[in-house]
Amino acid sequence: MLACISNNTHSLEVTRHLQLQQDDQYEKGPYVIIKELGSGLHGRVFLAYDDQQQCHVAVKLPTVLTLDALTTGHVNVNELEQQVASITHECNAMRRVQHPNVLQVDRLVFNQKFSYDYVAMVTEFAPNGDMFDLVEAAGALPEPLVKVYACQLLRALEACHANGVVHRDVKPENLLLDINYQLKLADFGVVAVAPMGSAATNVFPRDESGTALYMAPEIKSRQKYRGTPVDVWSTGVVLFILMTGFPPFNVAQEGDVWYDDILAGDLDHFWKTQPDEVLCAMSPGAQDLISSMLVAPDQRITVTEALQHTWLQGADSVDVALIRHAVSTHLEAALAASKIMTA
């Protein structure tokens, strides 16, 4: 179980920017770790069981806390403090955004092990994996289903931006699926945030954060850039992948033919040179929306404008049961096809 918590001066210094809530714990955490779900730069995520609430949760711990470290106490304290600060920053950002398509924080647990302190962030658990898993298992999604997920992602980002949060790492791996296959935007580890009470239009980062394939070109400029448009660019890349099963360019750098077309603003040539399977997978409306996302930041559509795009009309109010049925049917069809090919 996650063990006890210290409230000493060192703990308070490390977590001085933390916004405490009533459920945050300084004592025994009622969580039984079951298995590791994944890891990133600053955190490892585990599936756990909450004995008090009688449900599964996800628990994020600093990556330096390996089993060996927890057993022996041999930990790089400086690295641990950096990861604690990162998880704290992530939690603060997530708590700003209360939306059904954003993964929700349950609480923070402050733990002490040997002579050092650390935090564990507890969130709701999304049992159906992520969009990357779904596309990898079943291939490109049907366009009507992509429309639904596009709306859910854009609604999540709209809520983030309204509350001063720029995600900066929108990608299929960070789009989780709950028990009903509803989208949950997760992993706020590299967010940029505006002062409390300000919208994300006031966020102008300078650092290069995110995942290269999904990173807007202006992030690589090493100059200040507007925060909100970078999430829109990433969304355009994600939508292309969901509908085709592969990205819109081979590498996100100059020299890639398709990427160069986009940088030059020559979207007509970009689409004309796409493989037939891409053009068959997307309607003109889908191409138009993606084109409006993969342009220079001053021309790029906003998330609110994207939600008003004609291609998405009617997709914002699809019944949950229909979504669950559509995903299940898609997975079953992919499984049947794979059995035929391997027979």
Was 208 annotated as part of a binding site? Answer: no
187 annotated as belonging to a binding site for a ligand: yes
Instruction: Check the annotation: does 207 bind a ligand.
Output: no
Q: Of these residues, 169, 231, 266, 298, which one is catalytic?
A: 169
Question: Exposed/middle/buried for 177, CB within 10 Å: 0-12, 13-18, 19+?
Answer: buried
**Which helix (DSSP H) or strand (DSSP E) does residue 80 occupy?**
helix 77-96
**Binding site annotation covers 76?**
no
Phi, psi (deg, nearest 5) at residue 62: -60, 140
Residue 199 labeled ligand binder: no
Tokens standing for 131? 């969009």
The closest of 223, 245, 248 to 233, measured between CA atoms, is 248
Q: Is 117 a catalytic residue?
A: no
Are the C-beta atoms of 8 and 35 separated by less than 8 Å? Answer: no
Q: Is 158 annotated as a binding residue?
A: no
Cite the beta strand spans of the chain per DSSP E: 31-39, 43-50, 55-62, 105-113, 116-124, 165-166, 175-177, 183-185, 192-193
Rounded Cα distance between 263 and 229, Å, is 15
Amino acid 93 reads: A
What letter represents residue 185's amino acid?
L
> Has 58 been labeled as part of a binding site?
no
Calpha distance 172→180 (Å, rounded) = 17
Instruction: Classify strands 105-113 and 55-62 as parallel, antiparallel or unpaired.
Output: unpaired
Structure tokens at 307: 């939600």
CA angle at 232 for the pair 226 and 296, rounded to the nearest 5° = 60
Mark the binding-site residues for ATP, compressed into ranges.
60, 124-126, 173-174, 187
Active site residues: 169
Mark the binding-site residues, compressed into ranges.
60, 124-126, 173-174, 187
